[in-house]
Structure formats: C-alpha cells, structure tokens
Amino acid sequence: MKAKHGQSFFDLVLQSTGSIENAFAVSLLNGLSLSDPLFIDQELLPSGKADLSIVELWSEKNLPSTAITNENHELIIPDDGIGAMIIEKTFIIR
C-alpha cells in the first residue's frame, strides 16, 4: 500500500487491514513509529488479521485522509460558539 497526500499512518492501516487494532503489527513490520509522518508514495506492508468488509469500503476515489500538518492546521476555523460569532466573518453556514 502506498501513502497518498494527507494520509496518516492510521489511515493506511485502516485502508489496508480494515482494523485500527493492526497498527502495532504494521508498525513493527515496517519499522515505523505510530506517530511517524508518511511521505507521498511511501510503501507500507500490511500486517495482522484483515476485516474485508471494511477494506472493501475504500477505493481510489474514497480513501481515508486525516493527517493534519502545521500548514493546513491554520485553515481550520475555531468553533468559539454562538456568542463569539460575527456575521460574514465567523458565522459561516456549512
């Protein structure tokens, strides 16, 4: 399995094995820490018991991607609640 843009180690574990419980087995097999950042096209070997019903949910157009970097962390709008909202500034309908 190859890492895509924005994917974390746990995303790849879930995508390839269908269970986050395999994270330690995958990290040992690949010599990585659970918190190591991944590079685009970095290859990891899957390990552990696969849950095929979950693995089948993922496709090239529907992949888990939860890695947040310092660059895109600033793009997240803080949720300060209704008392701090300003119309057309922080009051955004999503």
pLDDT of 74 strictly over 90: no
Number of CB atoms found within 10 A of residue 73's CB: 8
If pLDDT is split at 50, 70 and 90, which confidence band does 45 have? very high
DSSP β-bridge partners for residue 43: 2
pLDDT of 78 strictly over 90: no
pTM exceeds cut of 0.85: no
Tokens of 69: 């970097």
Residue appearing with tokens 């290859």: 43
What's the whole-number mean pLDDT along residues 28-53? 91
